[in-house]
């Protein structure tokens, strides 16, 4: 017979942990709002260095600086080397969610080390591992919760003997917190400062007060001596304060004021414990049970302390911090500049820190009763969460049912009716998060080199992938973005509007379900051969003259200017066209006397029948300086650091077998714009392209 008395808290912890990780693996997709966007941008980080991904490189640029919000992208990019995209998210979430109970257990173990029942309140880590900000898809903040408690717990454990090795570990933990999210970093730095100042400051004031009759000098000496731990704390925390102050001053410089939600919202959020409410208000009701349990635990704690005459304890610092965080929650703006959900982030820590203030070493029955209530609450909270996962999963599966139809080197946009992102047949209106809107990002992760043009992260400088907005002639980028229709349009609850019908007029539906329509841009039935000439042997041949605005086109060539956008069945720039002009009339041929140049990659696409072709490209140097360029053809490396120098015209010819009905040439230069060892006057790292001839040599 099984002996229930043999169960320990470790067994219960393992069971709860497994239960809380099951929804990640049972259901195909995790129903967060922004999570799929992080997968897509992690893939961009991984694939961006490959020049064959010209659509990604054309749409995005990397923001490689040290700032918060980095860690989840690094982890996902690394996981994508090993696992498929959705599997990578599952592994990441297993870590991000599973670490929260571990970190909170570690924190409470450091605070209540050696006391009976030190894990009574540790079960709070499980319901707060599944929180509102997690379902918003704020994966960096989810990671930061664990690092907050690992950092705070490590500091508390070693606060009285902070040696160099301890300080190094603390700095690493705080750096990981910073790289996860600035809010958790700021809160843990504030919490450590308040805890140390109150623990060592109050006794110092008391000691100084006892020596007040001995004169001012004696009082001052006592005060200084007893405050040494505080001075030591402030000294080794200076680098952390500097990082926080630097971020704050930059934010103040960029943004003058925040936006507040109002007193009614604050009141409802606080008492509804809405930091762990996400799909419906069902959790609000059960959260009142949590508040009741913690309220009873507070009364029991106060009673025991009165009985034991424990008027002042070090753990009272956590009550002070909880009060401070509550004040900050009430007073802080909901958003400041582009950063939002400030109140939500602060609120999540209040009850957890209060758990560190409550005494664990109470009567055995009280300990077991409170622990049992918290475990029951965790199971109720988790049970409803898993139930909602099961109901939402089929809807997300429908939403992403067309991902296999997206082709490489394409772009897509998304559309929905005004309330479409909040609609759910299973849940009704999803009030707090929209688990559908950014799952559209999964349409960009299964095929190579797909640009998700509605990538919201690219608009903010605190993400590592930003929109490519290089300097260009006035309105050039705006004209290009509005002129170039996306190759695909994904419509969830398609809007019945004139604007949507006009936008999709040049598209056709290739996949449709009850709530989803997938449109693809209309295509020509094949290459338009009337545009081609023929050689004396009857083979097809076509010639292009790459030229800037107003250039002179060479005879028998098509002029390819900045407005020559690729059209199906024809030819044109498959990225933003290079707009920089090269002109040199010094005795060169009509083809070589003008061209286009740039440092950014450019792709030129030509539709043509399958077969073997001879391709000749013409390049020219600028004055007496040397240029290097590289060239890909349908992903194959044709030229690598090809040198053009001494004001010469150079031609290069290669043969290629076309099997997919198109030839795409990508021209680029070294990723280093100007190498330090090179002389700027003599060797420049950008390309000049003058023309191209494609001749059929073996028809199929």
Which of the four pLDDT bands, split at 50, 70 and 90, describes residue 446? very high
Q: What mean pLDDT is reported for the chain?
A: 87
Q: What is the dihedral of CA 325, 328, 330, 335, to 10 degrees?
A: -120
| Arithmetic mean of pLDDT, 675-693 | 67
Q: Is the pLDDT reported for residue 217 higher than 70?
A: no
> In the prediction, which pLDDT does 549 show?
74
| Arithmetic mean of pLDDT, 335-350 | 87
> In the prediction, which pLDDT does 609 show?
95
Q: What is the 3-state secondary structure (H, E, C) of 143-205?
A: HHHHHHHHHHHHHHHHCCCCCHHHHHHHHHHHHHHHHHCHHHHHHHHHHHHHHHHHHHHHHHH
- The pTM of this model reads 0.91
Give 417: exposed, middle or buried? Use CB within 10 Å, 0-12, 13-18, 19+: middle
> In the prediction, which pLDDT does 680 show?
45
User: For residues 475 and 117, which has the higher predicted lDDT (pLDDT)?
Assistant: 117
Which of the four pLDDT bands, split at 50, 70 and 90, describes residue 206? low
Q: Which of 268, 393, 266 is nearest to 342 (CA)?
A: 266
Which of the four pLDDT bands, split at 50, 70 and 90, describes residue 255? low
594-598 vs 687-689, strand pairing mode = antiparallel
Beta-carbon contacts of residue 45 (< 8 Å; ≥ 6 apart): 62, 73, 74, 77, 464, 465
| Arithmetic mean of pLDDT, 230-249 | 87
> In the prediction, which pLDDT does 478 show?
44
> In the prediction, which pLDDT does 335 show?
80
What are the sequence ranges of the domains in the chain? Answer: 84-385, 529-699
> How many whole angstroms separate alpha carbon 668 and alpha carbon 688?
10
Q: Is the pLDDT reported for residue 479 higher than 50?
A: no
Q: Is the pLDDT reported for residue 253 higher than 60?
A: yes
| Arithmetic mean of pLDDT, 523-538 | 93
CATH of 529-699, one of 2.60.120.430, 2.160.10.10, 3.30.1330.60, 3.20.20.70: 2.60.120.430
Q: Which tokens go with 223?
A: 């005060």
Q: Is the pLDDT reported for residue 436 higher than 70?
A: yes
Q: Which tokens go with 285?
A: 């009701």
Tell me the pLDDT tens digit for each residue of 414-425.
999 878 888 888
User: For residues 348 and 226, which has the higher predicted lDDT (pLDDT)?
Assistant: 348
Q: Which of 499, 467, 485 is nearest to 412 (CA)?
A: 485
> In the prediction, which pLDDT does 620 show?
86
User: For residues 670 and 372, which has the higher predicted lDDT (pLDDT)?
Assistant: 372
Tell me the pLDDT tens digit for each residue of 403-417.
999 999 999 999 998
The distance in angstroms from the start CA to the end CA of the chain is 77
Percentage of the chain lying above the pLDDT 70 cut: 88
Which of the four pLDDT bands, split at 50, 70 and 90, describes residue 114? confident
User: For residues 337 and 229, which has the higher predicted lDDT (pLDDT)?
Assistant: 229
Q: Is the dihedral of CA 483, 489, 493, 496 positive or negative?
A: positive
Q: Which tokens go with 522?
A: 């209309």
| Arithmetic mean of pLDDT, 251-279 | 85
Beta strands in 540-661 (DSSP E): 540-546, 558-560, 571-573, 580-583, 594-598, 602-607, 611-620, 626-633, 636-644, 649-658
> How many whole angstroms separate alpha carbon 128 and alpha carbon 377?
11
Q: Which tokens go with 599?
A: 């440092």
> How many whole angstroms separate alpha carbon 48 and alpha carbon 60?
9
Tell me the pLDDT tens digit for each residue of 548-571.
877 788 999 999 988 899 999 999
Tell me the pLDDT tens digit for each residue of 290-313.
999 999 999 999 999 899 888 888
Q: Is the pLDDT reported for residue 228 higher than 70?
A: yes
> How many whole angstroms separate alpha carbon 210 and alpha carbon 222?
9
Q: Is the pLDDT reported for residue 585 higher than 70?
A: no
Residue 89 and residue 139 in contact, taking contact as beta carbons nearer than 8 Å: no
> In the prediction, which pLDDT does 421 show?
84
User: For residues 690 and 200, which has the higher predicted lDDT (pLDDT)?
Assistant: 690
Q: Which tokens go with 41?
A: 């941008």
> In the prediction, which pLDDT does 204 show?
61
> In the prediction, which pLDDT does 292 show?
96
Which of the four pLDDT bands, split at 50, 70 and 90, describes residue 179? very high
Q: Is the pLDDT reported for residue 64 higher than 90?
A: no
Residue 690 and residue 619 in contact, taking contact as beta carbons nearer than 8 Å: yes
> In the prediction, which pLDDT does 226 show?
67
Stretch among 224-228, 284-288, 453-457 having the lowest mean pLDDT? 224-228
Q: Give the residues across from 512 on adjacent strands.
A: 517
Q: In the 8-state DSSP scheme, what is residue 339?
A: B
User: For residues 462 and 380, which has the higher predicted lDDT (pLDDT)?
Assistant: 380
> In the prediction, which pLDDT does 628 show?
86
Q: Give the residues across from 626 on adjacent strands.
A: 683
> In the prediction, which pLDDT does 211 show?
62
């Amino acid at each position: 017979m099984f002996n229930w008395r043999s169960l320990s808290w470790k067994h219960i912890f393992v069971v709860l942990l497994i239960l809380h990780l099951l929804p990640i693996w049972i259901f195909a997709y995790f129903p967060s709002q922004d999570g799929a966007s992080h997968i897509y941008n992690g893939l961009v980080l991984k694939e961006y260095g490959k020049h064959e991904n010209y659509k990604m490189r054309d749409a995005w640029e990397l923001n490689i600086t040290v700032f918060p919000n980095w860690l989840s992208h690094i982890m996902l990019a690394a996981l994508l080397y090993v696992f498929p995209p959705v599997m990578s998210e599952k592994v990441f979430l297993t870590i991000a969610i599973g670490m929260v109970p571990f970190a909170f257990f570690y924190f409470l173990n450091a605070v209540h080390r050696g006391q009976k029942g030190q894990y009574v309140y540790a079960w709070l880590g499980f319901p707060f591992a599944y929180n509102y900000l997690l379902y918003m898809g704020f994966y960096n903040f989810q990671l930061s919760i664990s690092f907050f408690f690992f950092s705070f717990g490590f500091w508390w454990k070693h606060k009285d003997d902070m040696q160099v090795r301890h300080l190094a570990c603390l700095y690493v933990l705080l750096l990981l917190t910073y790289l996860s999210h600035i809010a958790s970093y700021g809160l843990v730095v504030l919490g450590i400062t308040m805890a140390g100042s109150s623990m060592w400051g109050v006794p110092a004031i008391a000691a100084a007060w006892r020596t007040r009759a001995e004169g001012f000098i004696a009082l001052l000496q006592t005060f200084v001596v007893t405050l040494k731990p505080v001075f030591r704390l402030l000294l080794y925390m200076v680098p952390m304060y500097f990082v926080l102050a630097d971020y704050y001053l930059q934010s103040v410089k960029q943004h003058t004021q925040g936006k507040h939600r109002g007193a009614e919202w604050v009141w409802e959020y606080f008492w509804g414990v809405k930091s762990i409410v996400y799909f419906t208000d069902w959790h609000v009701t059960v959260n009142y049970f949590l508040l009741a349990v913690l309220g009873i635990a507070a009364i029991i704690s106060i009673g025991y302390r009165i009985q034991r005459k424990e008027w002042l304890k070090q753990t009272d610092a956590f009550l002070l911090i909880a009060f401070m965080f509550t004040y900050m929650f009430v007073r802080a703006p909901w958003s400041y500049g582009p950063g939002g959900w400030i109140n939500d982030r602060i609120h999540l820590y209040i009850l957890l820190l209060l758990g560190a203030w409550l005494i664990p070493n109470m009567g055995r029955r009280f300990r077991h009763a409170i622990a049992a209530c918290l475990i029951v609450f965790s199971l109720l909270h988790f049970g409803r969460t898993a139930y909602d996962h099961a109901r939402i999963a089929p809807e997300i599966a429908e939403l992403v049912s067309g991902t296999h139809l997206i082709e490489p080197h394409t772009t897509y946009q998304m559309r929905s009716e005004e309330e479409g992102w909040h609609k759910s047949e299973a849940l009704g209106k999803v009030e707090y998060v929209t688990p559908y809107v950014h799952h559209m990002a999964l349409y960009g992760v299964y095929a190579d080199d797909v640009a998700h043009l509605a990538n919201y992260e690219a608009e903010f400088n605190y993400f590592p992938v930003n929109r490519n907005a290089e300097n260009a002639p006035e309105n050039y980028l705006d004209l290009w973005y509005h002129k170039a229709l996306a190759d695909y349009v994904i419509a969830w609850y398609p809007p019945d509007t004139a604007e949507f019908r006009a936008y999709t007029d040049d598209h056709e539906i290739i996949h449709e379900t009850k709530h989803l329509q997938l449109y693809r841009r209309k295509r020509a039935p094949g290459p338009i051969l009337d545009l081609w000439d023929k050689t004396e042997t009857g083979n097809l041949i076509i010639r292009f003259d790459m030229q800037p605005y107003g250039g002179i086109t060479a005879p028998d060539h098509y002029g390819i200017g900045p407005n020559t956008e690729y059209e199906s069945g024809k030819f044109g720039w498959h990225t933003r066209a290079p707009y920089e002009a090269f002109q040199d009339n010094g005795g060169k041929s009509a083809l070589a006397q003008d061209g286009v140049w740039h440092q950014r990659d450019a792709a030129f696409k030509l539709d043509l029948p399958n077969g073997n072709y001879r391709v000749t490209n013409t390049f020219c140097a600028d004055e007496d300086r040397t240029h290097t360029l590289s060239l890909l053809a349908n992903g194959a490396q044709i030229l690598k650091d090809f040198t053009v120098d001494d004001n010469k015209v150079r031609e290069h010819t290669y043969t290629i077998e076309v099997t997919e009905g198109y030839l795409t040439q990508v021209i680029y230069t070294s990723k280093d714009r100007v190498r330090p060892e090179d002389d700027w006057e003599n060797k420049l790292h950008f390309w000049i392209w003058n023309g191209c001839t494609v001749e059929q040599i073996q028809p199929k």
